[in-house]
Structure 1
Amino acid sequence: MMHWAGRIEKELEKVLQLVTGVQQMKGIYNEKRNQFAVERNTPKQLVEKVSGDIAKLLNRKRKALERLAREAEDIQREHPWQDGIKENDIQYYDSKGDSDVSDDDDGENLLQNPNSLSLEFVDDPNFKNKVNYSYTAVQIPTDIYKGSPTILNELNWTQSLERVFIENSREDPSLRWQVFGSATGVTRYYPATKWRAPNKIDLYDVRRRPWYIQGASSPKDMVIIVDVSGSVSGLTLKLMKTSVIEMLDTLSDDDYVNVARFNEKAYAVVPCFTTLVQANIKNKKIFKEAVMNMQAKGTTDYKTGFQFAFDQLLNETNAPRANCNKMIMMFTDGGEDRAQDIFEKYNWPNKTVRVFTFSVGQHNYDVTPLQWIACANKGKRPAIRINTQEYLDVLGRPMVLAGERAKQVQWTNVYQDALVWKITIIIINSANSKLHCIISNMCFLTK
């Protein structure tokens, strides 16, 4: 064994000398050594210098964020709502209007939006894209009607943000993308560029981006309970699985979660997750795989599901944090039980846990009990077919009421977004309930 080890060592040494070019490096150094000077570095001073440079960089980004948040609030507050506004009254660059145009063709396909501005773009190595520095661009989700008064008013007042974007860029040339995202789904970004949807299908919705979700509410502890009784089968079960997965996608690294299935009894869908776990990418992937394997059988007992959820949320050993939103999300096909005694035991009168009920599938059950459960516990019964994200609007209300005290800077993890390669995002929670803004290179959101 020692003989073979020695042989391997010698072979590795030969290969490393050949690959690394260490001898060539030594020769270059000896030949040019008069041009070099060796100085002793002080590690503490190096760290302090790097730390100071990073602090200055981030401070410039933060100032840009605060300026945009402040201006967006003021502009929105002063904007007069127009009931009779028409599509012809608004002109903007619809970035999806020419999303099918090749990179070598600067023409615009304006058939989708005849009111879209026609812009010229120039190559910019900083953005690795063709951009226009004089205008912003707008992206609106495919399933939203562009001609509705809500969208048109949003487009009208956000046009004024163009000036702020340009000022930010002049103040800090190192800024890259700056983006405003609205609760209505409107995205306005600077500089303008053509929108690129993968495979020609645009499913982008700013309200589903990680930075938006993280900034739309304070940190959450959530337990999702899923009715898997025998009546939940076929298409209803498929819809329920999809809905739960969409709910998991509304969570960020700031949140903690667990998922349980229930019929006569309640079980964690991931047996080893006996407590709330961080809603990071890895854990959410594990949850999603477990949810897709759920099967329907047995009878419905809401009490077992709620018992499991309250034990997770209110048990000091299990609950990782005390000062955050606590909520239960129940997905069911309907039922008559109101589980009132469970709420009396765990949640009344303080109602420290919000309960949201989601009715999934086509059934003949009376939805009144589900409505009562939600309303009696400071929650809501959203329309599952519209958006599982509606609960975020409810959680954002305390932040709005908190005003200036709710304004704080948060950081997301580094991830790849639609407009940029890799970014870290700063989120600023603002007092205006209408606004969800961002800036990028670093990015931000107001709530």
Structure 2
Amino acid sequence: MQVKNQLDVMLQKKIDAVERVAKAAEKANKLYGRYKPSDELQLEDLEYYNAKKLVSDVDIEDLDNETQEAVKRTIHYLPLSHDKVEFNDNLVNFTVSTIHVPTNIYDKSSRILNGVKWSNDLTEQFRKNAENDPTLTWQYFGSADGFFRIYPGIKWPRDPNKVDMFDCRIRNWYIQAATSPKNVVILLDTSGSMKGLRLKIAQSTVEKILDTLSNDDYFNVLKFSANVSYVDPCFNRTLMHASVDNRKRMQKQIKKVGAEQMADFKKALIEAFELFRSVEQHLKRTLCNKVIMLITDGAPENYEGTFDYYNWPNKTTRVFTYLIGKEVQDNRQVQWMACANKGDHTHISTRADVQENVQQYIKVLSRPMVQEKFRNMILTAVYLDYPTEHASMVEVPEATFSPFTDLLSTGKKNAGLGLVMSVAMPVFDRREPLSAEGKKDALHDSPVENLLGVAGTDISIYELMQHIPMYKLGVNGYAFAITNNGYIIFHPDFRPMFTKESPVKLDFAAELYAKPNYNSVDLAEEELAMDALKADDFPKDTPVKFEQAAELHTKPNYNSVDLTEVELAVDVLKVEELRNVMLDPQSGGIQMNVTFHYDTMANVHYLNDEEMFIAPWVFCRKEDTGTMYQLVKEELVRLVATGQFRHSKECK
């Protein structure tokens, strides 16, 4: 309970900091008022710290003094330092915040310049938050228009050989905070008219839609021409969890789809509505946020009768339509479908238009939350922060210890913060409704229905683990934590990185790569099941304690010598029970059988190391005299070498 309370306090500080940023953003936007068109913007409005164009002292050290001084007088120069341990010695600037604009958005467009201008006031709030809580790491605001403001200011980590694909609006923290959990059915037109480039654009559209889903969502993809079928036949008439595994699996299946015959839209729409009805009957409850996404190059009619039968008058299912093809002109029918069913219509002409247009549906789904001014505070699953993800991760055992990246087996500084979680919440447009004249301005949406963006901060997993009292767990005890979806936050057997085979053998280092699904490792994959028939061969039940809210769980008697060699095995039903009560969440304890295996001689060699010292753990106390008995190092080595798990020494 002590650990739970400490984590509650720590997390609440992060939540309070993010909420202050969100309120500061709403206030700054309201005071700024109407967005200025291009001809009203001043020279000072055109200059800002563009993180992708910045240079620091490291970049200009080879230039002559006169040139260096000239560069330092420009907006592109940003002095950076690495004197704060919370940032793992990354080069940052604590006086400013910097801006990232996605590659597919013009960084001098009116919307970007106006947004950057009013959001500049957030820097002061970022600084105040850092003063109130020195453990804060990255603080940021992701705009619905695409720009990303981050504090402290950084020079954006880039690979010169790759295109910068970062867009804050498709990061999990943004998507989860901007919308509520949703159930999505995607209808992909695979009729003959979709052959060639149109099909490629349509496939890319489906892939990008899947990228915008989070672990709280459910989905399925149907293809239709003369008949309707499920792209992945393993998930007929059901909705699958939008886990990383399932989304990647579906993205692979989409690439295999071909185009032929005529399209029967009525069959496709009926199957989508019946799918929702079937799932609701199975769950015995009504699904929230039901969405149908229709991807096609045109429809012959609007199928009003189908919508009238399945969706009207309550319109519980929103319909979004994507018209594919540059030369397609008639969009009346598909546009009507979207507008008549509380959705939105988008025309995608080329593959370059896909990402920007796909993301528009998020604004529409966020409207109910915006209208109710509901703060959807979220906590994401574990992931590598962007600087770590794009750093050259090399395993160097002799390197200077870094508590952040040491969790990744690197011990490397200046490589981001390693594994993090994000706390985030939406930011709403609280400006006054516009006049009729103002609404004609292309720069404006209706403020009462507008999502400005998402504010957030990152929490290092290392910081979470600092609250675990390891001295109370014992030499072989450990703690672990999971998310509300059962995914590992931290666990001694959680290894997110792997070493790729290389033709060049290096004795001093090995290049590391993140495993494909490192951020969606389920508890059941770490706590492996034991053969129930062998249960009597193992030590007695070991208690597992779990605590509510923070979802932190401790197991005091983990029988192992070297955790890198250990595979924990427990009763299958007990694992399921443990997982369920953790997800509920509940407080209490569970008894379960525990076993272990390890390399005996490797551990003997480990114990015999001259620099290895064994803590004087007491193994028994004589009842009549209170005398304490201990195992010395030589006795422990002998027991490990002979494979004995219980010693014969008695209290006399």
Pick the TM interval, shorter chain.
0.7 to 0.9
Identify the range of structure 1 (271-280 vs 354-363) with the bigger mean alpha-carbon deviation: 354-363
Please report how far the alpha carbon of residue 115 of structure 1 lies from its aligned counterpart in structure 2 after TM superposition.
6.1
2:545 is matched with none
RMSD across aligned positions (CA)? 2.7
Q: Give the distance between the partners of 1:197 and 1:101, measured in 2 at CA.
A: 17
Comparing both structures, which one devotes a greater share of its residues to strand? 2
Identify the range of structure 1 (322-331 vs 100-109) with the bigger mean alpha-carbon deviation: 100-109
State the secondary structure of the residue aligned to 1:181: strand
- Of the three residues 163, 176, 179, the one matched with 1:201 is 163
Q: Does 1:67 align with 2:20?
A: yes
- Over 3 Å counting, the alpha-carbon distance change for 1:155 and 1:111 in structure 2 is farther
Q: What does 1:149-188 align with in structure 2 at a 5 Å threshold?
A: 149-188=110-149
1:131-177 C-alpha deviation (Å, 9 max, x unpaired): 11111111111222232222222111111111100010011111101
Q: What amino acid sits opposite 1:396 in the alignment?
A: S
State the secondary structure of the residue aligned to 1:123: coil
State the secondary structure of the residue aligned to 2:166: coil
Q: What does 1:253-292 align with in structure 2 at a 5 Å threshold?
A: 253-274=215-236, 275-292=238-255
Q: Give the distance between the partners of 2:68 and 2:148, measured in 1 at CA.
A: 20
Please report how far the alpha carbon of residue 117 of structure 1 lies from its aligned counterpart in structure 2 after TM superposition.
4.8
Q: Percent identity?
A: 37
Q: What does 1:354-393 align with in structure 2 at a 5 Å threshold?
A: 354-364=318-328, 366-384=330-348, 385=353, 386-393=356-363
State the secondary structure of the residue aligned to 2:385: coil
Contact (CA 8 Å) 2:56, 2:77: kept in 1 or not?
A: no
Structure 2: gaps spanning 5 or more residues: 388-416, 430-449, 461-652
Q: Give the distance between the partners of 1:54 and 1:135, measured in 2 at CA.
A: 30
1:246 is matched with 208
Q: Give the distance between the partners of 1:320 and 1:103, measured in 2 at CA.
A: 62
Q: What does 1:290-301 align with in structure 2 at a 5 Å threshold?
A: 290-301=253-264
Please report how far the alpha carbon of residue 255 of structure 1 lies from its aligned counterpart in structure 2 after TM superposition.
0.9
- Of the three residues 134, 155, 161, the one matched with 2:95 is 134
Q: What amino acid sits opposite 2:15 in the alignment?
A: R
Q: What does 1:10-409 align with in structure 2 at a 5 Å threshold?
A: 48-81=1-34, 82-83=36-37, 84-98=40-54, 116-124=75-83, 125-128=85-88, 129-198=90-159, 199-274=161-236, 275-315=238-278, 316-317=280-281, 322=286, 324-364=288-328, 366-384=330-348, 385=353, 386-403=356-373, 406-409=374-377
Please report how far the alpha carbon of residue 249 of structure 1 lies from its aligned counterpart in structure 2 after TM superposition.
0.7
1:324-365 C-alpha deviation (Å, 9 max, x unpaired): 211100111113132222112101121111111111124556
Please report how far the alpha carbon of residue 231 of structure 1 lies from its aligned counterpart in structure 2 after TM superposition.
1.5
Q: Give the distance between the partners of 1:123 and 1:100, measured in 2 at CA.
A: 12
1:11 is matched with none
State the secondary structure of the residue aligned to 1:245: helix
Contact (CA 8 Å) 1:333, 1:363: kept in 2 or not?
A: no
Contact (CA 8 Å) 1:407, 1:431: kept in 2 or not?
A: no
State the secondary structure of the residue aligned to 1:197: coil
Contact (CA 8 Å) 2:54, 2:77: kept in 1 or not?
A: no
2:421 is matched with 424
Contact (CA 8 Å) 1:110, 1:116: kept in 2 or not?
A: no
Please report how far the alpha carbon of residue 318 of structure 1 lies from its aligned counterpart in structure 2 after TM superposition.
5.1
Please report how far the alpha carbon of residue 425 of structure 1 lies from its aligned counterpart in structure 2 after TM superposition.
1.4
State the secondary structure of the residue aligned to 1:78: helix
2:458 is matched with 441
State the secondary structure of the residue aligned to 1:259: strand
- Over 3 Å counting, the alpha-carbon distance change for 1:408 and 1:240 in structure 2 is closer
- Over 3 Å counting, the alpha-carbon distance change for 1:331 and 1:71 in structure 2 is same
Contact (CA 8 Å) 2:422, 2:457: kept in 1 or not?
A: yes
Q: What amino acid sits opposite 2:9 in the alignment?
A: K
Please report how far the alpha carbon of residue 320 of structure 1 lies from its aligned counterpart in structure 2 after TM superposition.
8.6
1:17 is matched with none
Contact (CA 8 Å) 1:336, 1:366: kept in 2 or not?
A: no
Please report how far the alpha carbon of residue 256 of structure 1 lies from its aligned counterpart in structure 2 after TM superposition.
0.7
Q: What amino acid sits opposite 2:252 in the alignment?
A: E
Q: Give the distance between the partners of 1:345 and 1:106, measured in 2 at CA.
A: 72
TM-score, with length taken from structure 1 = 0.82
- Over 3 Å counting, the alpha-carbon distance change for 1:228 and 1:411 in structure 2 is same
Q: Give the distance between the partners of 2:261 and 2:147, measured in 1 at CA.
A: 44
Q: Give the distance between the partners of 1:340 and 1:146, measured in 2 at CA.
A: 42
Please report how far the alpha carbon of residue 317 of structure 1 lies from its aligned counterpart in structure 2 after TM superposition.
3.1
- Over 3 Å counting, the alpha-carbon distance change for 1:377 and 1:294 in structure 2 is same
Q: Give the distance between the partners of 1:424 and 1:301, measured in 2 at CA.
A: 45
1:308-327 C-alpha deviation (Å, 9 max, x unpaired): 11011233235696352111
- Over 3 Å counting, the alpha-carbon distance change for 1:60 and 1:248 in structure 2 is same
- Over 3 Å counting, the alpha-carbon distance change for 1:78 and 1:436 in structure 2 is same
Q: Give the distance between the partners of 1:205 and 1:115, measured in 2 at CA.
A: 26
- Over 3 Å counting, the alpha-carbon distance change for 1:111 and 1:255 in structure 2 is farther
1:10 is matched with none
Please report how far the alpha carbon of residue 90 of structure 1 lies from its aligned counterpart in structure 2 after TM superposition.
4.7
Q: Give the distance between the partners of 2:57 and 2:273, measured in 1 at CA.
A: 53
Q: Give the distance between the partners of 2:283 and 2:43, measured in 1 at CA.
A: 50
Identify the range of structure 1 (360-369 vs 292-301) with the bigger mean alpha-carbon deviation: 360-369
- Of the three residues 383, 402, 416, the one matched with 1:415 is 383
Contact (CA 8 Å) 1:86, 1:152: kept in 2 or not?
A: no
Structure 1: gaps spanning 5 or more residues: 1-47
Please report how far the alpha carbon of residue 379 of structure 1 lies from its aligned counterpart in structure 2 after TM superposition.
1.4
Contact (CA 8 Å) 1:86, 1:147: kept in 2 or not?
A: no
Contact (CA 8 Å) 2:318, 2:341: kept in 1 or not?
A: yes
Q: What amino acid sits opposite 1:336 in the alignment?
A: P
Q: Give the distance between the partners of 1:342 and 1:75, measured in 2 at CA.
A: 46
Contact (CA 8 Å) 1:312, 1:319: kept in 2 or not?
A: no
Q: Give the distance between the partners of 2:56 and 2:189, measured in 1 at CA.
A: 43
Contact (CA 8 Å) 1:97, 1:111: kept in 2 or not?
A: no
Q: What amino acid sits opposite 2:274 in the alignment?
A: D
- Over 3 Å counting, the alpha-carbon distance change for 1:89 and 1:225 in structure 2 is closer
Q: Give the distance between the partners of 1:110 and 1:388, measured in 2 at CA.
A: 45
Q: Give the distance between the partners of 1:338 and 1:440, measured in 2 at CA.
A: 45
Q: Which has the higher contact order (CA 8 A, sep 6+)?
A: 1
TM-score, with length taken from structure 2 = 0.57
Q: Give the distance between the partners of 2:68 and 2:456, measured in 1 at CA.
A: 28
State the secondary structure of the residue aligned to 1:258: strand
Contact (CA 8 Å) 1:97, 1:110: kept in 2 or not?
A: no
1:253-293 C-alpha deviation (Å, 9 max, x unpaired): 11110100011111111111120111110110111111111
State the secondary structure of the residue aligned to 2:370: helix
Contact (CA 8 Å) 1:183, 1:435: kept in 2 or not?
A: yes
- Over 3 Å counting, the alpha-carbon distance change for 1:272 and 1:111 in structure 2 is farther
State the secondary structure of the residue aligned to 2:140: strand
Q: What amino acid sits opposite 2:366 in the alignment?
A: G
Q: Give the distance between the partners of 2:313 and 2:216, measured in 1 at CA.
A: 28
